Amino acid sequence: MGHCVLIKHYSKPFTNDTTIEENGFVRYRCREDGRMVVINGKHVDNRRVVPYNRDLCVKYDAHTNVEQCAQKKVMKYLYKYMHKGLDRVTFVLEETGQTNGEEGNH
């Protein structure tokens, strides 16, 4: 697993070890090494580095954020979501005897 930079809505605290929190989310190692770059006028350090899978990025020619999950609920949700099938709608059409908002027979 490598790393790349994401600018919006992502900033994790510095930590020396990867751990699994009580809520089942993974807190990845994010060391404070003093390195910083400027992107679009903003200073960016390791707190904005996100995990990704290089093979998926190359295969789909797109950034793919990949995170480990340690919660049974999330795994069940993802399985159900991926296998839920097509969305469906049931509706009934009824004739009211009115046309274009006018009353009477035409």
pLDDT for 97 equals 74
- Say if residue 37 is exposed, middle or buried (CB neighbours under 10 Å; 0-12, 13-18, 19+): exposed
> Which stretches of 6-105 are assigned E, i.e. beta strand?
19-20, 26-27, 37-39, 42-44, 49-52
- Say if residue 30 is exposed, middle or buried (CB neighbours under 10 Å; 0-12, 13-18, 19+): buried
Pairing of strands 37-39, 49-52: unpaired
> Which stretches of the chain are assigned E, i.e. beta strand?
2-5, 19-20, 26-27, 37-39, 42-44, 49-52
- Which residues does the chain have with pLDDT short of 70? 1-10, 68-70, 98-106
Predicted TM-score (pTM) of the model is 0.46
Q: What is the pLDDT of residues 19-39, one digit of tens each?
A: 888 777 778 888 889 998 998
pLDDT for 59 equals 92
